[in-house]
Amino acid sequence: MPQASTQVPEGYVKAFFRPRSLSDAKYTYCPGCHHGIVGRLIAEAIDELGIQDRTVGIAPVGCAVFLYQFYRVDFVQAAHGRACAVATGIKRANPELVVFSYQGDGDLAAIGTAETVHAANRGENITVIFVNNQVYGMTGGEMAPTTLPGQRTTTTPEGRDVRLTGYPLRISEMLAQLDGPAYITRQSVHDVRHIQMARRAILKAFRNQLEGKGFSLVEIVAACPTNLKLPPPQANRWVAENALKYFPLGDLKVKGG
d(CA 152, CA 240): 18
Q: How far is CA 122 from CA 103, 116, 129, 186, 215, in A?
A: 19, 10, 17, 21, 8
Q: Which is nearer to another protein, 23 or 165 (CB)?
A: 23
d(CA 223, CA 104): 12
- Closest approach, Cβ 120 to another protein, in A, equals 11
Length of the chain: 257
- Closest approach, Cβ 252 to another protein, in A, equals 22
Q: Which is nearer to another protein, 115 or 219 (CB)?
A: 115
Closest Cα partner for 66 from 111, 33, 92, 96?
33
- Closest approach, Cβ 61 to another protein, in A, equals 9
- Closest approach, Cβ 151 to another protein, in A, equals 22
- Closest approach, Cβ 32 to another protein, in A, equals 4
Q: Which is nearer to another protein, 48 or 165 (CB)?
A: 48
| Residue 242 CA from chain centroid, whole number | 19
Q: Which is nearer to another protein, 36 or 168 (CB)?
A: 36
d(CA 124, CA 176): 14
- Closest approach, Cβ 257 to another protein, in A, equals 26
Taking the CA of residue 177 as centre, how many other CA atoms within 13 Å lie in the half-sphere pointing to its CB? 5
Q: Which is nearer to another protein, 72 or 152 (CB)?
A: 72
Q: Which is nearer to another protein, 52 or 160 (CB)?
A: 52
- Closest approach, Cβ 82 to another protein, in A, equals 4
Q: Which is nearer to another protein, 27 or 246 (CB)?
A: 27
Strands 250-254 and 183-188: antiparallel
Please count the other Cβ atoms lying within 10 Å of the Cβ belonging to residue 211: 11
What are the helix (H) ranges across 127-224? 162-165, 171-176, 192-210
